[in-house]
Structure 1
Amino acid sequence: MDLLPNVWAEHYWLPPGVTWEDMDQLAQSERPLPQDLLVALPLALAFVGLRYMFERFCAPPIGRCLGVRNRLQVTAAPSPKLESFYTQQSMRPTQSDIIYLMSLCGKSQRQIETWFRLRRHQDKPCQTKKFGEATWRFFFYLTAFVGGLACLIDTPWFWDLRECWRQYPVQPMQSRHYWYYMLELGFYGSLLLRISVDIKRKDFKEQVIHHLATVFLLSFSYCANYIRIGTLVMLLHDSADILLESAKMFNYGSGWRKVCDVLFVVFASVFFLTRLMIFPSKIIHTTLVLSMETFQPFAGYYFFNILLMVLQGLHVFWAALILRMVQKFLTGTMEKDERSDEDSELEEDKGEEVQGDYCPTGSKDTQNYKLPTLSNNCVLNNFTNHRASVADRMRKAQ
Structure 2
Amino acid sequence: MWEAESHPQWQDYSLVCFAALACPLARFLLDSCVFQRLAERAIFPDGENNLKKIVRDSRRKKIPKFMESAWKLTYYTATVVLALLVTYKEPWFGNTNAFWHGWPNQSLKSFRVGSIVLVLHDVSDIFLESAKLCKYSGSELGASVLFGLFALSWGLLRLVYFPFWIIRSTSLDIIEHLDKSNPLHTIQYYAFNTLLLTLLIIHIYWWWLICRMISRQLQLQGRIPDDVRSDSDDD
TM-score (norm 1): 0.50
**What percentage of aligned pairs have identical amino acids?**
31
Mapping of residues 252-331 of structure 1, within 5 Å: 252-254=136-138, 256-296=139-179, 297-331=185-219
- Which residue in 1 is equivalent to 2:227? 337
Deviations 1:351-396 (A, max 9, x none): xxxxx735xxxxxxxxxxxxxxxxxxxxxxxxxxxxxxxxxxxxxx
RMSD in angstroms over aligned alpha carbons? Answer: 3.0
Distance across 2 between alignment mates of 1:300 and 1:35: 26
Q: How does 1:215-230 map to 2 (within 5 A)?
A: 222=108, 225-230=109-114
**Separation of aligned partners in 2, 1:141 and 1:32:** 25
What letter is aligned with 1:290? D
Q: CA deviation at 1:67?
A: 2.5
Q: Displacement, 1:135?
A: 0.5
Aligned to 2:79: 144
Moved over 6 A (4+): none
Gap change, CA 1:33 and 1:288, over 3 Å in 2: farther
1:44 alignment partner in structure 2 = 20
- Return the structure number with greater relative CO, CA threshold 8 A, min gap 6: 1
Q: Taking structure 1 as reference, are residues 167 and 257 closer, same or farther at Cα in structure 2, changes over 3 Å only?
A: same
Which residue in the other structure is 2:93 paired with?
A: 158
Alpha-carbon distance between aligned partners in 1 of 2:164 and 2:212, rounded to the nearest angstrom: 24
How far residue 35 of structure 1 moved from its aligned partner, in angstroms, is 8.1
User: In structure 1, what is the equivalent of residue 115 of structure 2?
Assistant: 231
1:148-179, Cα deviation, whole Å (9 max, x unpaired): 2232221100121111101112235xxxxxxx
Contact 2:92 2:99 in 1 (8 A): yes
In structure 1, runs of 5+ residues without a counterpart are 1-25, 75-121, 173-221, 348-355, 359-398
Conserved? CA contact 1:68–1:252, under 8 Å: no
Aligned to 1:54: 30
Paired with 2:207 and 2:144, the residues of 1 have a C-alpha distance of 17
Contact 2:159–2:204 under 8 Å retained in 1: yes
Matches of 1:158 and 1:68, distance apart in 2: 44
Instruction: Provide the rounded CA distance (Å) in 2 between the counterparts of 1:336 and 1:320.
Output: 16
Q: Is the 8 A contact 2:79 2:122 kept in 1?
A: yes
Higher helix residue share: 2
| 8 Å CA contact 2:104, 2:177 repeated in 1 | no
5+ long unaligned stretches in structure 2: 180-184
Question: 2:69, 2:132 within 8 Å by CA — same for their partners in 1?
Answer: yes
Aligned amino acid, residue 111 of structure 2 = I
- Tell me by how many angstroms 1:325 deviates: 0.4
Taking the aligned partners of 2:44 and 2:207, their CA distance within structure 1 comes to: 28
Q: Does the 8 A contact of 2:213 with 2:225 survive in 1?
A: no
Question: Residue 182 of structure 2 corresponds to which residue in structure 1?
Answer: none
Bigger radius of gyration: 1
Deviations 1:239-273 (A, max 9, x none): 1111011011111112x111111001111011111
* Worse-superposed segment, 49-58 or 128-137: 49-58
Q: Offset of 1:50 from its aligned partner? A: 1.4
CA deviation profile, 1:105-164 (whole Å, cap 9, x unmatched)? xxxxxxxxxxxxxxxxx9xx9211111111111012112212222322211001211111
1:62: how far off?
2.1
Query: How many angstroms apart in 1 are the aligned matches of 2:14 and 2:197?
Result: 26
Q: For the Cα contact (< 8 Å) 1:68–1:127, is it kept in 2?
A: no
> How far did 1:56 drift?
2.0
1:64 to 40, 53, 64: 40
> Which secondary structure does the structure 1 equivalent of 2:201 belong to?
helix
Is 1:249 paired with 2:133?
Answer: yes
CA distance in 2, matches of 1:317, 1:62: 34
CA-CA distance at 1:41 after TM superposition: 3.8
Q: CA deviation at 1:42?
A: 4.1
Deviations 1:280-324 (A, max 9, x none): 111111111111121244212222112212221221121111000
In 1, the alpha carbon distance for the partners of 2:53 and 2:131 equals 23
